[in-house]
Amino acid sequence: MQPTAWRAVLPAVVATSVLFGGALTGAIRTSVAPLPRQSADLDAWGRVLADPRFHEAAVFTVVLAVIATAVSVALALPIAALLRDRRGVQVLVTLPVLLPHLLVAVVVVLWLGPGGLVDRFIADGPQVVRAPSGLGIVLVYVLKEVPFLVLLLLAVWNDDVEQRVEMAATLGVGPLRALHRVVWPAVRAPLVLGATVVMAFVLGFLQVPAVVGPTDPVTVPVYAVEVTRVRGLAGQADAAVALLLASGFALLLAGLAAVVTRRLDGVRR
């Protein structure tokens, strides 16, 4: 069988390099010399790095990302185990994968926001939408990302893995031990990759915190929109700095995940 010539991958690589590379260089350029200014300086970097509101936003965003990812991963594994043989239910449970994040946020607002359905049943219930703890943001991401991780797990939790579980059971291995020794090695690498994507979503998406997040503290993308509105031209540079820092953190995280996945794959082999 002849492998496809390497030239075949060029159009996609060129398109990604030009557009994605262009976006990053454009953001870097804006961070030092927003249009129409011609001279470059690092004032925006100094301003953002010294801004206590940015520090708060960065810590808040990372904490939310860690919590939302950890909860999603913790729920995805048992749900995937439960749904393995139930095709019809799988379709319904994984429905949120097809839904835009903004739509899930709207549904959460209509249920749990002020004047929402739950508010009418429980008058003094806990605040979820716009809660300073970021509970609403975590809830939207958990609702949206657990099905994504379940789908990912179901793709690798195939009949081969299940046969090995059955074989382990006939050898007297208990279900928990089988989960740890047979299923976990098969699913952990894709789970780490999926968790990285989820974390990158939480770090970078604007629409969810804009709709259900608190106004103080804010997440980094909301901070970027805020400074653009308030600080004018300088705000564009500040927003670019904030978004570049968020991008850098997400890429660093992805690098770490790649190393972990490689190690896990190595262990499996």
Partner 1 sequence: MSIRGQRRARVTAVLLAVVTAGPLLVLPLRAAADVWRAPALLPQRFGTRGLDVVFSPGTNTLTAVTNSLVVAVATTLLALLLAWPAARWLATADTRHRAPVLVLLALPLLVPPLAIGAGLAEWFLRLGLTNSLPGLVLAHLVAVLPYVVVVLAPGFGPRVRTAEEAAATLGASRWQVLRLVSFPMLAPSLAVATLLGGLVSWSQYGSSLGVGRGVPMLPLVLEPFVGRDPQVAATLAMVFLAPALLALLATVRRTSR
Interaction between residue 100 and partner 1 (CB under 8 A): yes
Question: Of 15, 42, 230, 259, which one interacts with partner 1 (CB under 8 A)?
Answer: 15
Specify the stretch interacting with partner 1 by CB under 8 A; choose among 64-72, 163-171, 181-189, 252-260: 252-260
Name the one residue in this structure whose structure tokens are 């043989």.
85
User: Within 133-152, which residues bind partner 1 (CB under 8 A)?
Assistant: 143, 147
Question: Is residue 126 helix, strand or coil?
Answer: coil
Q: Give the C-alpha separation, 78 to 91, whole Å.
A: 17
Max Cα separation, the chain? 73
Q: How far is the CB of 95 from partner 1 (least distance, A)?
A: 5
Of 250, 161, 202, 177, whose CA–CA distance to 70 is shortest?
A: 202
Question: Of 38, 39, 50, 98, which one interacts with partner 1 (CB under 8 A)?
Answer: 98
Specify the stretch interacting with partner 1 by CB under 8 A; choose among 42-50, 62-70, 133-141, 240-248: 240-248
DSSP-assigned letter for residue 183: I
Interaction between residue 183 and partner 1 (CB under 8 A): no
Interaction between residue 30 and partner 1 (CB under 8 A): yes
Q: Give the C-alpha separation, 219 to 193, whole Å.
A: 23
Interaction between residue 125 and partner 1 (CB under 8 A): no
Q: Give the C-alpha separation, 211 to 215, whole Å.
A: 10
DSSP-assigned letter for residue 94: T
User: Within 50-89, which residues bind partner 1 (CB under 8 A)?
Assistant: 79, 82-83, 86-89
Question: Of 179, 207, 234, 261, which one interacts with partner 1 (CB under 8 A)?
Answer: 207
